[in-house]
Amino acid sequence: MNLPAPIALAAESVFNACPVEQALSRLVPDQGATPELHRLVETAIQQPEIASRPPLIAALWLLVDELDKSHVISQGIDDSTGSYWHGIMHRREGDFSNAHHWFRKVGSHPAMQQIEGYDAHQFIDDVEAAGADTEALVALQRREWQILFAWCSQQAVG
């Protein structure tokens, strides 16, 4: 993942403990972060490079399956990026109709254009229909997170 150096450094401990290639392994997780991951995210989101950037905070909580914490942040971001993180959170909690609602609010987000073959609404339907974690859907979920997080990071540093 190509991140601006200040963001990469601020979140380094989280990425070392929870590599994106291994994270997000459950489409609809049934438990949140370990106490250690929780502590690492709490520390990372207090770093100045992240603390004033709610999309990055919502994303890091999603990375470690802390859906409620991500939800509190994303619902306060009143733009298409906030709606994107909000929609992902609802899809991951299994609230598929609400996920569709938030993705309708997203419209066409610049990060979506970077995900080959991506259709947010089809992805929601595929996750709902799968009923289990499949390799292809988990891989898409990881790509989606990486690309949106990288896009948010680039926006954060201008």
Q: pLDDT of 18-60, one tens digit each?
A: 999 999 999 999 999 999 999 999 999 999 999 999 999 999 9
Torsion on CA atoms 101, 104, 109, 112, rounded to nearest 10: 80
Q: What is the mean pLDDT of residues 1-29?
A: 96
Rounded Cα distance between 124 and 120, Å, is 6
- Checking if the pLDDT of 1 tops 90, the result is no
Rounded Cα distance between 89 and 142, Å, is 13
Quick one: pLDDT at residue 59? 99
Q: What is the mean pLDDT of residues 79-104?
A: 98
